[in-house]
Structure 1
Amino acid sequence: MTMTYPGVTSMLAVRGGETVLEWYEEGTEADVLRELRSMTKVVTTTLIGIAMAEGYLRSVEQPVAEFFPGYEADVTLRELLTMTSGIDFDDRQIPELLGTEPNWTDVMLRQRVDAEKGFRYKAVDMHLLSVILTKVTGRNALKYAEEKLFGPLGIETCFWPCDPQGHSNGSTGLKMTTGDLAKLGRLFLQKGRWDGKQVVPEAWVEQATMAQSGHDPRFGTYGYAWWVAEEGFMAAGAAGQYLRILPGQDLTLVVTSDPQRGSHETVGLLQELLERVGA
């Protein structure tokens, strides 16, 4: 199966809380931290939902300008969550600008905001959400997650890089084990509950996994960093990183790939996994 999709490093399928398929690339084990790439974004948006429930944020309509004195652009939290902020910052600028700039946030806030806003997949929106988390909670996204999300799920080991100011990279870079990533999927499948506790508000889970903005023919319609399709929802990362949740089948699928060898074409492996587990 994996020969057709080069670079795949792990596969996991969990149904009803029971593992029904598990595979790791030769030479690796279950405890290896896998690079999530853009699947990092669903952790960032989830933390925003938790922070809102705790009263750190008022609503998704809250203006971003409230968190950055002097910032005058008309952008809301909802627009960051759905990547419809209009902030004109191409991800291809990141290595050049952010690689040498001492303050990523200042660079992002200096960018022009398009008058006609629309969906545009980019890193800046998610990183600004991470910065806002730090501002309102007094902890960066990793520290906040360790207390409010990773802790309740029993996730003990991960890696999440920071910008020069100590803000967790809200868009990419998070590393977790395959099993811990499956826990995040199960949490959303269970409408935010884990071991009898409401870790993420159910209303937030519904909003996050609802079609909100742009569409991609491979993945579906964008929610709050989740891609939403008729049969379920999915987080996706560059070079073949996938977390797919199928509520109707009580099924969570995880596929990770080597970022240097993987491909988005690996999305086809998800269907093969469904056939393998009899879904």
Structure 2
Amino acid sequence: MKAFALAAALIVAPLSAHASSDMPTAAPAAEGLSAEKLDAMSAAIKAGQFQQITSVLVARHGKLVFEAYYDDGKPDGGPEARRNTRSATKTVTAMLAGAAIARGALPSVQAPIKTYLKGRLPAANPDPRKDKVTVEDLLTMSSIAECDDDNSFSRGNEERMYLIEDWVGFYLDLPVRGFPEWMPRPEASPYGRSFSYCTAGVVTLGQVVQNAVGKPLPTFADEALFKPLGIEAPHWQMSPLGLAMGGGGLGLRGRDLLKLGQLYANGGQWNGKQVLPADFIKASVTPHANARENTDYGYLIWLQTFPGPDGAGHKAWVMSGSGGQKVAIVPDLDLVAVITTTNFGVRQPHAISEKLIAEHILAAVEK
């Protein structure tokens, strides 16, 4: 059976009991994509040209046009598998912060996190500057804490956090970050913020949201985000002290991830209902920090540009997790793509997924 035939068979499979919350489906050609090019992509994936891709889903104009699972038939594969989203979870935590603001539980992104962490004063490295850290500082990976997951020497490196049971306390105890003269200070950085990728800060943001809304983070997520989208049975990883891990590891189906991407593409709306505030979505995909060359950062979402087959660049908002997990929202094409993988032990897994998006999914767009 051809790869695309498999995808088509899955697309027309019976929808869940919450069919009203599922995305409508359409043939690729009806939404301006080449079925032949998507079929060629599927063949390349099956041939191992992209290592271990486990699923690809594509929506155009709000309709599911391609869906294929390359681990179907395995005990933990197929359309109902809860994919370990890794750090794509961080964008979900940003959504929950937006939902808390919409409900008035948080006044704004300028709210100091200290207000919602009473009784959690840092046991180490007290500093009045740490008292001024805001929700937006954590949303933009630019708080003053010395925390860098990309630097194994950093005191705030994610792997060090997992060695203790109190992950929020780990973040709060971090010293203030230093800026030697060869590193630009925040005021000299693009957008006035100095980016430093910090999972511990996002874990702490989850605690802030939980305390602000007065209910466990998974309960609030179901109420404010997942149930309105028809997302069922998400699998949260938990800290040793029982806090849902807002920084990574959330288990969601491929279609669930596609819905979250489509929610951003729709400006926070789903089936005519405003699930997240439109102004929060707009702020989320506005550059707030420069993450690296040609890539900016919004509210726990990457802002990058993919090359198109016509030579034009296509700006995208990308939920991203280790191994090359991707939810790419490409607004100028009204397209959302999901890629899940098990490329955890291969070189440059993000580049592999980005190549798949640019050279196959975007290249399939014909009009």
Decide: shared fold, TM above 0.5: yes
1:101-159: per-residue Cα shift (whole Å, max 9, x none)?
A: 23111121111122655110110121111010111112232211111100000001211
Q: Is the 8 A contact 2:317 2:329 kept in 1?
A: yes
Cα displacement (A) at 1:228: 1.7
Does 1:241 find its partner at 2:299? Answer: no
Structure 1 residues 66 and 184 mapped into 2: Cα distance closer, same or farther (>3 Å)? same
Q: Alignment partner for residue 140 of structure 2, among 82, 95, 101?
A: 82
Cα shift at 1:41: 0.6
Higher relative contact order (CA 8 A, sep 6+): 1
1:269 corresponds to: 356
Output the amino acid matched with 1:202.
Answer: A
Higher Rg of the two aligned structures: 2
Cα distance in structure 1, aligned partners of 2:87 and 2:171: 18
Greater mean deviation of Cα atoms: 167-176 or 84-93: 84-93
1:53-78 CA-to-partner distances (Å, cap 9, x unmatched) read: 10111111111222233354131111
Q: Which structure 1 residue ranges, 5 or more long, are not aligned? A: none
| Contact 1:35/1:259 (<8 A) preserved | no
Looking at structure 1, the residues matched to 85 and 231 of structure 2 have their Cα atoms a distance apart, in angstroms, of 15
Q: CA deviation at 1:31?
A: 1.0
CA RMSD of aligned residues (A): 1.8
In the alignment, what sits opposite 2:96?
Answer: 47
Percentage of pairs with the same residue:
31
Query: Are the equivalent residues in 1 in contact too, given 2:88–2:319 (CA < 8 A)?
Result: yes
How far 1:200 moved relative to its partner? 0.1
Is 1:222 aligned to 2:297, yes or no? Answer: yes
CA distance in 1, matches of 2:238, 2:321: 18
Rounded Cα–Cα distance in structure 2 between residues aligned with 1:112 and 1:29: 45
Per the TM alignment, residue 277 of structure 1 is displaced from its structure 2 partner at its CA by: 4.4
Give the Cα–Cα distance (whole angstroms) in 1 for the partners of residues 343 and 262 of structure 2.
Answer: 24
Superposition deviation, residue 24 in structure 1: 0.8
Cα separation, 1, equivalents of 2:202 and 2:144: 13
- Residues 100-249 of structure 1: pairs in structure 2 closer than 5 A: 101-114=164-177, 116-117=185-186, 118-217=194-293, 220-229=295-304, 231-249=315-333
**1:96 Cα deviation (Å)?**
4.0
* Cα separation, 1, equivalents of 2:159 and 2:198: 14
Which moves more between the two structures, 28-37 or 143-152? Answer: 28-37
Contact 1:234 1:243 in 2 (8 A): yes
**Count of paired positions:** 277
SS of 2:97's partner is helix
Output the amino acid matched with 1:80: L
Q: Give the letter aligned to residue 158 of structure 2.
A: I
**Which residue number in structure 1 is paired with residue 110 of structure 2?**
61
Residue of structure 1 in register with 2:159 after alignment: 95
> For 1:80-103, what per-residue CA distance to the aligned partner results, in whole angstroms no more than 9, with x for missing partners?
11000021134354334433x231
What code does the residue aligned with 1:85 have? Answer: S
Rate the CA distance shift 1:35–1:278 in 2: closer, same or farther, 3 A. Answer: farther
Deviates more, 1:258-267 or 1:25-34: 258-267
Equivalent position SS for 1:270: helix
In the alignment, the residues of structure 2 paired with residue 231 and residue 85 of structure 1 have an alpha-carbon distance, to the nearest angstrom, of 26
> Structure 2 length as normaliser, TM-score?
0.71
